[in-house]
Structure 1
Amino acid sequence: MIEVFDPTELPRARQAGALVAGILQTLRSRCEVGTNLLEIDRWAQAMITEAGAQSCYVDYAPSFGRGPFGHFICTSVNDAVLHGLPHDRALADGDLLTLDLAVSLDGIVADSAVSFVVGAASPESLALIRATERALSAGIAAARPGARLGDVSSAIGTVLGEAGYRVNTEFGGHGVGSTMHQDPHVPNAGRPGRGYRLRPGLLLALEPWVMADTDELVTDADGWTLRSATGCRTAHSEHTIAITDDGAEVLTLPAPAPAV
């Protein structure tokens, strides 16, 4: 199902996006060496509940997972890239952490992910993160009314390929709306001029992700966490956007830092 929203519903989508962005921004500021992944999950639960929103993960039970997920946020560390199940693990210096959060507020879902390093960052880790961020920006720029999904996928994949990374297209971006995962699927590589034509009112979650030296995933023993097959590091960046008459509006941008 592909949902297309009326312009009058865009303010609700903006509110959902702002909530997700704010929670991720707060969680990122709290994460430090020694922070436990289960502590991050509890913080996310508290903020979602306080906002009167609903988690999209707690009862999430797709065919590819060992569901229900049972937690409020995905916490993927180092070689884990997607669907990281929070568990009893303290963050160490240099860990590359991805936080992926989706919530529903007033009937509309927003979904976003951010990767960052706790403590000292290696050049490899920073290169991975920056490549996904550049690819995300390229995908957003290509998401114009009248463009096709292949244009967005091609823009993302071109950046990732030029950075030297192989692209897995099994998991990628997707439509959002009244539920978290909807059509259309947005692969992180594709051919321009192909696929569904974008139109105002469409909400998309774009999410470039890469692994340093492979495009092959393995599923962890927990039945959820997806890791690089070689044990290499990974990164993942994601925003929810709304297609408008003027282009793509990013709904999950964090608020700017206050002036000093």
Structure 2
Amino acid sequence: MPLPRSVQALLLTYLDRIYQGTVRERYRGQIACLERDAHAVLLDVGCHTGVNTMRLAGAVGTHRVLGLERRPAPLQEAEAAGVHCLVGDANTTLPFASTSLDVVTAMDVLEHLVDPARLVHEIYRVLRPGGYCVLATPNLASWHNIFALVLGFQPFSGPNLTTMLDADMAIVRRMHRQAYGLADDAEVAASTESDLHRHIVVVAYRALLRLLTQAGFTIERARGYGYYPFPSPIGRLLARLDPAHSHHIVVKGRKPAA
């Protein structure tokens, strides 16, 4: 039996509020991983229009900014923002020379790939000794994904059957549509935005750490963000104590110096 509309509206408002809080906290966590270095060469995998890329570059303090994006459409905006862009598929070999970069970021990219392990190894290859990467991705082992599985539903973070807006629960679909400014399922079907590209492989917190260490990285920072259904500051504290069950993961890995 569906919930009354008034209850659905209250629940939707609450869920959206704690999710937006998680997004803000995760962004601060990404910035905290970056080191000031005006001479650093930074690559942002999945740069899209370059808006977030330039925020990351600003935190580093560098103007030597590269971007990789699978679709050519948004790259004109990225170039105008100051990102030197290349069109490429992060599932394949990165179009950069070995040991040529100082910093590589990949925010909300791994979950869209067929083989995220390959990208992690490629990032290790292109980084100079002593360079580092910062990766952000949803956590398959979050409590809300576990809860979905217990109920017999597809995990909320994916993998998705169609787009990343796909969900078994109507209220979750509504929340996703609201986040992307889409009125109904027809608009979702008609949208060609790359942001709707589905989640294919969603990793758990400990699996991501293992992925990086197997590639050769030393883990310098690993934090979780969002601990549902709790709002901040309780959710923030619980995610710090138990990142393995948080919603989002931000990890910093260092390539050992030669």
For the aligned pair, the TM-score class normalised by the smaller chain equals under 0.3
Q: From the CA coordinates, give the structure whose radius of gyration is larger.
A: 2
Greater relative contact order (Cα 8 A, min sep 6): structure 1 or 2?
1
TM-score, normalization: structure 1? 0.27
TM-score, normalization: structure 2? 0.27
Q: Larger strand proportion, structure 1 or 2?
A: 1
